[in-house]
């Protein structure tokens, strides 16, 4: 058996070392490629808010995402968390219950399609609820809202993509005329009604009655003018 001299041993070690480095580089490149292919979903932002006038809400209150997308709930003010209604998420979806934070954010990725309803534990009784739809609507939350607050319809969320809290509650002035009639229209209708009542006969209003008395007095004075 031939024993290699020192120079030969050093050459062999250098060759082995170079091979190990090459193997490590290849493995690292493969890992990076895998990471890139598994994180191609979008990230969507939701704010968690405690307003000065005592409102607690998620904004947007309704959000549409695609399977594989990530939702990031970020503190804007106050202290909040994100908790799923166990009976108001799609079948097969994982429940979630984050810790309460006063700064920073919570981030979760969703793959199971359907409608998800959730709430903030400290402010659930105050109506701090939210909804998002992954892909197509589905599951027990479709067609109703949780007992602690109203939420946009799943179909409206999919159609609009995102529904802000102000738009949904009417806080931005977009409430329909039926729910908030204008003062001008009401005053005009009242004025028209008064005019119609007065025109229909002097006995219907005090103004009509006084007009009738004055007219009668003038007529009697005219008739007695030459007597």
Which residues carry a binding-site annotation? 80, 120, 123, 128
The stretches of the chain forming alpha helices (DSSP H) are 6-38, 154-160, 165-169, 183-200, 206-223
Query: Which is nearest to 181 in space by CA: 190, 85, 47?
Result: 190
Strands (DSSP E) found in 51-190: 56-59, 62-65, 70-75, 83-84, 105-109, 114-119, 129-134, 162-163
Residue positions in the annotated binding site for Cu cation?
Answer: 80, 120, 123, 128
Query: Which is nearest to 117 in space by CA: 94, 137, 146?
Result: 146
- What whole-number distance in Å separates Cα of residue 130 and Cα of residue 157? 11
Element (H, E) at 44: strand 43-50
């Amino acid at each position: 058996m031939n024993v290699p001299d020192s120079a030969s041993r050093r050459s062999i070690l250098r060759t082995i070392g170079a091979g190990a480095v090459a193997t490590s580089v290849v493995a690292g490149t493969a890992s990076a490629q895998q990471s890139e292919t598994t994180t191609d979903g979008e990230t969507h932002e939701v704010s968690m808010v405690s307003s000065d006038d005592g409102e607690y809400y998620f904004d947007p209150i309704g959000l549409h995402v695609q399977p594989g997308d990530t939702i990031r709930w970020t503190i804007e003010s106050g202290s909040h968390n994100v908790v799923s209604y166990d009976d108001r998420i799609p079948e097969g979806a994982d429940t979630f219950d984050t810790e309460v934070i006063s700064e920073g954010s919570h981030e979760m990725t969703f793959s199971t399609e359907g409608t998800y309803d959730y709430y903030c534990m400290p402010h659930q009784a105050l109506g701090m609820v939210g909804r998002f739809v992954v892909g197509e609507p589905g599951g027990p939350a479709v067609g109703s809202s949780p007992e602690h607050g109203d939420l946009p319809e799943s179909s409206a969320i999919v159609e609009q993509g995102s529904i802000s809290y102000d738009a949904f509650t009417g806080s931005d002035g977009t409430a329909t005329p039926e729910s908030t009639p204008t003062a001008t229209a009401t005053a005009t209708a009242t004025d028209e009604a008064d005019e119609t009542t007065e025109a229909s006969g002097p006995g219907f209003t005090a103004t009509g009655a006084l007009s009738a008395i004055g007219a009668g007095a003038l007529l009697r004075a005219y008739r007695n003018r030459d007597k």
